[in-house]
Amino acid sequence: MSARTEAVNALFERSGEGPLAGIIIADFGRVLAAPYCTMLLADMGATVLKVESLEGDETRSWMPPVFDDASTYYMSINRNKHSIALDFRDEDDLEVARTLAARCDVFVENFKPGGLARFGLDYAAVNAVNPTVLYASITGYGTNGGADLPGYDLLVQGASGLMSLTGDTDTVPFRAGVAVFDVFTGLHACVAILAALQHRMKTGEGQLVELNLMSVALSSMVNQTGAYAIAGVTPRRLGNEHPSIYPYSPFPTSDGELILAIGNDNQFKTFAKLIGAPELPLDPRYVTNRDRSAHRDELRPVLEELMRAKTTTAWFEIFREAGLPSAPINDVAQGVQFAESLGLEPIVTVGHGNKTQPAVRNPVTFSRTPVTYDFVSPKLNESGDAIREWLTT
């Protein structure tokens, strides 16, 4: 362990040495995309110093739900961090922010384009005093023609076309139940930062990394945007069905619904046999996936009638034993319980002693450098004094 890593770990009391131990991240992010990114990096051992306004991150007030009178929204994306509250209009506070920018390895922000320039915290200014810095900037629609547009996930879900794909064929467009493009942008930012760290390790060079929700949205819709880009096809809303695979959707059972994901012809043969219709794969309309997709309106009522013969649980066990892809439709509580039944241990305890909170497990497992859950989400300015002390050493 390097002397710098030891000093940082001693000051901020990190346990162990994750793969990013010793990396200092100045987190100037707010709300979701940037904080989610920096939380993942913090789980991997990075020391994340979260810079907040005197009022705090907006998500501190997004409630209910609450836990110990704090917003669960805020808590879900800010564990393993240290908070310092700064007012950039105050010269002393602004100097603290600039000193942090000069000493960090990674600077992450999702202000409006140009929002940090007037404080001397834009990439050019930070790079001038910290030439090896990795500066990750997240915007809604980039810094050119869309720089003036507010970058909220819901707006991007609409503008990108995702909402046109979400919902039943005869309903209005719906948003996804989670801020998917904020989360995807946070994930892309995490990957980009790790790649830039690798480049810096080889060359000593820092760089600017830019992401925007709109570009991430178009990339994340993969086959749907690919259909338009490659073949000029504009996808349409299909409810729970897939445009290219069939059967690939929920089907009614005697007491509910079960999702089927029959992805190839051999799976369909096995499926047909298990539901008591081994002749279906011999029908010219249903031999291949392309055939089944083209004739789904004829195949659907046949499968629905056969699936209504048993309960959801009975079918799931039958298909599971045969290795066929299927799943129940759970609510969130049932989803967590289902993961627990599979031994995935989805809920972890963050913190130590009498200062703990439950949280959702980081999905990455390392065999040599495990993630750690050292700190509960910080109270506003909880580490302000410690961060100022570190900046003066």
pLDDT tens-digit series, residues 246-298: 999 999 999 999 999 999 999 999 999 999 999 999 999 999 999 999 999 99
pLDDT of the residue at 210? 97
- b vs e for 275-296, b when ≥16 Cβ sit within 10 Å of the residue's Cβ? bebeebbebeebeebebbbeeb
> Per-residue confidence of the chain (393 residues) as pLDDT tens digits?
455 555 555 567 676 678 999 999 999 999 999 999 999 999 999 999 999 999 999 999 999 999 999 999 999 999 999 999 999 999 999 999 999 999 999 999 999 999 999 999 999 999 999 999 999 999 999 999 989 999 999 999 999 999 999 998 888 999 999 999 999 999 999 999 999 999 999 999 999 999 999 999 999 999 999 999 999 999 999 888 898 999 999 999 999 999 999 999 999 999 999 999 999 999 999 999 999 999 999 999 999 999 999 999 999 999 999 999 999 999 999 999 999 999 999 999 999 888 899 999 999 999 999 999 999 999 999 999 999 988 988
| Rounded (to 5) percent helix, strand, coil in the chain | 40, 15, 40
Q: How much is the pTM?
A: 0.91
pLDDT of the residue at 353? 85
pLDDT of the residue at 6? 59
**Known catalytic membership, residue 291:** no
pLDDT of the residue at 239? 87
CA-CA distance, 384 to 138, in Å (whole number)? 25
pLDDT of the residue at 9? 58
pLDDT of the residue at 253? 97
The CA radius of gyration of the chain, in Å to the nearest whole number, is 25
Give the CATH number of domain 248-341.
3.30.1540.10
pLDDT of the residue at 372? 93
pLDDT of the residue at 14? 73
Domain positions in the chain: 3-221+346-391, 248-341
- b vs e for 168-195, b when ≥16 Cβ sit within 10 Å of the residue's Cβ? eeeeeeeeeeebbbbbbbbbbbbebbbe
Chosen CATH of 3-221+346-391 out of 3.40.50.2000, 3.40.1390.10, 3.40.50.300, 3.40.50.10540: 3.40.50.10540
Q: Which of 182, 283, 291, 374 is catalytic?
A: 182
pLDDT of the residue at 1? 47
What proportion of the chain, given as a percentage, has pLDDT over 90? 89
3-221+346-391 and 248-341 have identical folds: no
DSSP SS3 for 25: strand
Helix runs in the chain, H state only: 3-12, 33-43, 72-75, 91-103, 123-129, 153-160, 180-203, 213-220, 222-231, 265-274, 289-294, 296-307, 312-322, 332-341, 384-391
